[in-house]
Structure 1
Amino acid sequence: MVRESSDNQTILHETSHEGGPLAETVIDAIAEVTDSSSTEIEPLYESIDPDALEDLFGRQSEQRVPRRVEFVHKGFAVVVFRTGRVVIYEAG
C-alpha cells in the first residue's frame, strides 16, 4: 500500500505494534516493504538503540512518552507513534 501522508511523504507501509519487542515490529515492517525476510534486514541497533526505543514506548504514563520518534534505517524513514502505529516512508 503506497499513499501520501499529510506532509506529502509517500507511506510505503504502516502497521500497529501489537505486543512483543517493538524492534521486531519495525524490522517486520521494513521486511514487508523490501519483500524480504526479517532475518535479512540489518539489526535495528545499527540505527537506533532498540532497548531505548522499547523503554520510551513501554512507559506507563503517556505524559512521559513522546508523540513519536523518527529515525532512518536501511534507507527508509521510520516513524513510531505513541499509539503503537509504525509507519515506513521513503527516506528523502
Structure 2
Amino acid sequence: MANTSARPTTRDASNDGPIIAEATWDRESENTPVYAVVTAVAAARDSDPVELPPLADSINPDALNDLFLARGETTVGQLDFHYLGYRVVVHGDGVVRVHS
C-alpha cells in the first residue's frame, strides 16, 4: 500500500471554510489522488479508510485519477466535490483538502 500522510488540521482557507484534514498525492508513486482523498476523509472522520462507504457513491474514482494523472503534467487547477458531508478539494499540485 502506498505511503501517504493525512493529518487533521484546523486552518481556514478563506471562503472555503475550515480545512479539517489534508493529504498529498504524487504522480511518481502509488499514492494516487483517490488514495489521498480516502485517506484525508478518514482522518477528518477519525476512522479507518476501509470503513468508509465507497468513493464511487460520490465521484468516479477512475475518472478522478485519470483527470490528474493521465497527462505528463497536470493541467487541472482543482476539482471540488462532496463526499460524506465534506467538501473535498483535489488540487493539481498534489494536495487534497477536506473542508467541513
Q: Same fold (TM over 0.5)?
A: yes
Q: Aligned ranges for residues 10-89 of structure 1 at < 5 Å?
A: 10-18=18-26, 19-20=29-30, 21-58=32-69, 59-62=71-74, 65-89=75-99
Q: What is the identity percentage for the equivalent residue pairs of Structure 1 and Structure 2?
A: 33
Q: 1:71 to 1:8 in 2, by over 3 A?
A: closer
Give the ranges of 4+ consecutive aligned residues of structure 1 lying more than 3 Å apart after TM superposition.
Answer: none
Please state how far the C-alpha of 1:83 moved relative to its aligned partner.
0.4
Structure 2, gaps ≥5 residues long: 1-8
User: 1:3-39 CA deviation, whole Å, 9 max, x = no partner?
Assistant: 2112251110112113323211111111111111001
Q: CA RMSD in A?
A: 1.3
Structure-1-length-normalised TM-score: 0.87
SS at the partner of 1:4? coil
Structure-2-length-normalised TM-score: 0.80
